[in-house]
Amino acid sequence: MKKGLIAFALASVAICFLSFKQKFDLKSSIARGKEVYTLQCLSCHQEQGEGLEDVFPPLAKSDYLMADKTRSIRQTLHGVSGEIKVNGKIYNGEMSGFDLTDEEVSDVLNYIRNSWGNKGAAVTPQEVAATRK
């Protein structure tokens, strides 16, 4: 009986520890994502995510971006082309996909989904890996 309790207590501690370790750190992901954004995205989507009228759609307060997390993972990996409507305006350009790791994609999306007035749930590297397949 006593042994059972000790084993149970130990198992609980181990589970707590594991779930703590696995908790996704959104804050540091956003910080890393800013670096990725500056290198890979800023030239078109601009420093404040405002884009360029009629050419590069905005990411700041983009209804299109925030509407679908999985779609934005897919688009960062594989690109976007054809007509899309962002904040009521039609864009019909092309963006090629990016050769980024699962973590870099999750970081850059966490940055753009949580900057310039955007607020979104975390994108984990696991979600990116699953979408890549």
103: alpha, beta or left? (left if phi > 0; alpha if psi -120 to 50):
alpha
52: which strand partners? 56
Q: Does the protein bind ligand HEC through residue 45 (CB under 6 A)?
A: yes
Rank residues 56 and 131 by Cβ distance to ligand HEC and give the closer one: 56
Does residue 40 belong to the site contacting ligand HEC (CB under 6 A)?
A: yes
Q: How many C-beta neighbours within 10 Å does residue 39 have?
A: 11
> What is the C-alpha to C-alpha distance for residues 80 and 95, in angstroms, rounded to an integer?
5
Q: How far is the CB of 23 from ligand HEC (least distance, A)?
A: 24
Asked whether 24 and 98 are in contact (CB, 8 A), the reply is no
Query: Is there a contact between 102 and 132 (Cβ–Cβ < 8 Å)?
Result: yes
- Least gap, CB of 60 to ligand HEC (angstroms): 9
Does 84 bind ligand HEC (CB under 6 A)? Our answer is yes
3-state secondary structure at position 83? coil
Q: How far is the CB of 132 from ligand HEC (least distance, A)?
A: 15
Q: How far is the CB of 24 from ligand HEC (least distance, A)?
A: 19
Q: Which spans of this chain sit near ligand HEC (rule: CB under 6 A)?
A: 40-41, 43-45, 56-59, 62, 64-65, 72, 75-76, 80-82, 84, 86, 91-95, 98, 108, 112
